Structure 1
Amino acid sequence: MLRFNLTRLGAACLLGSMAMANTALAATTINLSYNGAPDPEKNAVHVFATNLKELVEERTDHEIELRLFANSMLGSEEERMEQTMNTPMLNIASFAGVSPLADELFVSAIPFLFEDFAAARDFFDEGAYWQTFSDELSERAGVDMLAVVEEGGFLAFTNNERPIRQPSDFEGLRFRAMDPSQVALYESFGASGTPIPWTETYMALRTGIANGQMNPPMYIILASLYEVQDYLTLANIQYSDQFLVGNSDMIAGWDEELRDAFMEAVAEANQRAREANEAQVESRIAYLEEAGMEVIRPNSDELEAFRSVGQPAYLEWLEERGIDQRWIDMALEDAGAGELTQ
């Protein structure tokens, strides 16, 4: 009797080991690439990525496991997007990664469009423009738009010459620009804009190639720009975001249960990251103030002055770029902005 029980126990153990081995073999490991250091205190995108890894593996019972690659370890923005288009992987891309595939993305960056976080989140979570854009991106490039990831709040102006409280304060200043749309915005205020890679921004500001730039407080801290910038203007210029994208064929190949579990994990990871990001905005501003920056908080009239100059110039730039008006109309309606004068 004892021998029989031991035999059955041994068989059960063997079957259990085989099941575990099969489960391990069934697990799919997916690369997730993104920008910035793996530092939760300084990089909101890393906070999202680590939450996503934990939640995806938990919700899918480890049928999907994520391998994180911070600091652009898998290549440049363009290289990582190409990898995502052609292989089963995930990527958190910036405007530089997504806009070459669908430049209608620039419509989402119309300056001074959102009053606060809630307005921006509703625009991307519920709006017709964003859903239409996501469908277009999938059709053109074979990548699914899975989430809009906050990377540190709203963009602010910084410079090392004088406080900026109104558009005329820009006159004659030189600004580092991320892309041509920012050049157009600076020029509308009477400044000049020069595209400078992010990796060269600190030195450009230190040597005087540029007097200023715009980024959310998180990135100003991350790059130690407070060492070479004296003034911080919290003008809520644009919502600072990046984009979780995934290979369309990979996601379509999952069964419905697995896909639902994955998307639930994405939604929860994004909510956690949003809460963490918003909770740190004021402490980041306080950090920059303690580091010696003068903080300027424009009142409603001053913000309106920025908007009345910056928005028409940006809309004109979109038109010159050949963006179809229907995209702009959808976005403005979703944002509750009505018609803007160009």
Structure 2
Amino acid sequence: MTSTFRSFLGGVAAVAMMAGGTLAAQAADWKYAFEESLTEVQGVYATKFKEAVEANSDHTIQLFPYGTLGESADIMEQAQAGILQFVDQSPGFTGALIPEAQVFFVPYLLPTDQEHLARFYKESKAINEDFSELYAEQGLELLVMFPEGEVAMTTKEPVKSCADLNEVKFRVMTNPLLVESYKAFGATPTPLPWGEVYGGLQTNIIQGQENPTFFLYSTGIYEVTDHITYTGHNNFTTAVMANKDFYDSLSDADKKVIEDAAASAYDYIVEYQKGLAESELKKIKEAKPEMTVTVLSEEERACFKEAAAEVEAKFIEMTGESGKAILEQLKADLEATKG
């Protein structure tokens, strides 16, 4: 980012903070950006959040779907600068900013059971206390984290083991631990912003990528790959944040409106996603009958699970005692919320 643009951000941020913060007792227009389209999971959550805020206050919220304000790095900078009051961004992109957030990319840490995940994200001490402090250090108020579904690999060639990923250029988010994960899986990890993925697959610059099932359909990424593989290695996590200076400047009444909106939207999105992966996979099969869909057996997953231990050790090496404590707390929270 150029110094001129940084100066511009600073100037706009001052105005945004005045409109969204010190004048919060009056009706304000707040801005909320996210990484997906309005009809995808983050967009549906944002819409419900907006509806709840506007129903219970005089404030209004403008929603900015993916691409309208730039890539993921751009909207995070705008949120930290106070230009945006709210932002939804996956730990996959905040991992460089908050290294401990990379814990969500330790393979096989999170279960595939959606009911268990719904309890975990709502009740986890690591998320609601420990991560709140880490996000605050970066000028962000963590409002909620929620799951978006089991991650599936899409590739040009079938994948039945780690050996099948050998020399495959596999797109990953710009996240150091995700890079290490795909190295451990045997692939050649290739960090790319989302805007370059479809074209990269089309031109064979990359030969694979991972995302939740609904996203494979809504983005049309299935059109440029031939095989969908479920290894059970991860569930996509996202986080909704507010600019902390803005949030701290609000009245207690406005903070409650936001907290209640975040909670009600969470409950809605968890219900909304039930059966979503199955319905979107059905649409993919109808649109592209030749697409193969494979759920790996426990035996076939063995090499990926072996690699997970290596990635977990790498996470602790990257993040030190802080990361180790977060990892241990997450494991304890997962055990406590098993049901």
TM-score by length of structure 2 reads 0.82
Larger of the two Rg values belongs to structure: 1
Query: 1:71 maps to which residue?
Result: 66
Query: 1:84 maps to which residue?
Result: 79
Aligned pair 1:226/2:222, yes or no?
yes
Q: How many residues align?
A: 305
Asked if the contact 2:118–2:147 (Cα under 8 Å) also holds between the matched residues in 1, the reply is no
Distance 1:80 1:176 in 2: 21
Query: 2:325 maps to which residue?
Result: 326
Q: Percent identity?
A: 25
Query: 1:336 maps to which residue?
Result: 335
Asked if the contact 1:46–1:70 (Cα under 8 Å) also holds between the matched residues in 2, the reply is yes
Three-state SS of the structure 2 residue aligned to 1:322 is: helix
Shift of 1:48: 0.8
What are structure 1's unaligned runs of at least 5 residues?
A: 1-24, 338-342
Distance 2:315 2:307 in 1: 12
Aligned pair 1:295/2:273, yes or no?
no
The root-mean-square deviation of aligned C-alpha atoms, in Å, is: 2.4
TM-score by length of structure 1 reads 0.81
Query: 1:271 maps to which residue?
Result: 267
Aligned pair 1:133/2:95, yes or no?
no
Cα pair distance change 1:329/1:64, threshold 3 Å = same
Cα pair distance change 1:56/1:155, threshold 3 Å = same
Aligned pair 1:168/2:140, yes or no?
no
Letter in 1 for 2:256: D
Shift of 1:77: 2.6
Deviations 1:276-308, CA, capped at 9 Å, x for gaps: 1233110111122222311112234444x1552
Asked if the contact 1:74–1:80 (Cα under 8 Å) also holds between the matched residues in 2, the reply is yes
- 1:64-213 equivalences under 5 Å are 64-87=59-82, 89-95=85-91, 97-115=93-111, 116-130=113-127, 131-138=129-136, 140-151=137-148, 153-162=149-158, 164-179=159-174, 180-213=176-209
Letter in 1 for 2:125: A
Cα pair distance change 1:196/1:97, threshold 3 Å = closer
Letter in 2 for 1:109: F
Deviations 1:178-227, CA, capped at 9 Å, x for gaps: 23323222222222212222211122222222221111112212332212
Shift of 1:322: 3.4
What are structure 2's unaligned runs of at least 5 residues?
A: 1-24
Query: 1:312 maps to which residue?
Result: 309
Three-state SS of the structure 2 residue aligned to 1:286 is: helix
Distance 2:193 2:81 in 1: 26
Letter in 2 for 1:65: T
Three-state SS of the structure 1 residue aligned to 2:36 is: coil
Distance 2:304 2:330 in 1: 16
Letter in 1 for 2:122: D
Deviations 1:80-117, CA, capped at 9 Å, x for gaps: 22332332611112335532331110012211222222
Letter in 2 for 1:53: K
Query: 1:54 maps to which residue?
Result: 51
- 1:9-20 equivalences under 5 Å are none
Asked if the contact 1:189–1:309 (Cα under 8 Å) also holds between the matched residues in 2, the reply is no
Shift of 1:244: 0.9
Letter in 1 for 2:77: E
Three-state SS of the structure 1 residue aligned to 2:273 is: helix
Letter in 2 for 1:260: K
Asked if the contact 1:33–1:72 (Cα under 8 Å) also holds between the matched residues in 2, the reply is no
Shift of 1:265: 1.5
Query: 1:258 maps to which residue?
Result: 254
Q: Runs of at least 4 residues of structure 1 off by over 4 A?
A: none
Three-state SS of the structure 2 residue aligned to 1:232 is: strand
Distance 1:306 1:293 in 2: 24
Distance 1:323 1:218 in 2: 35
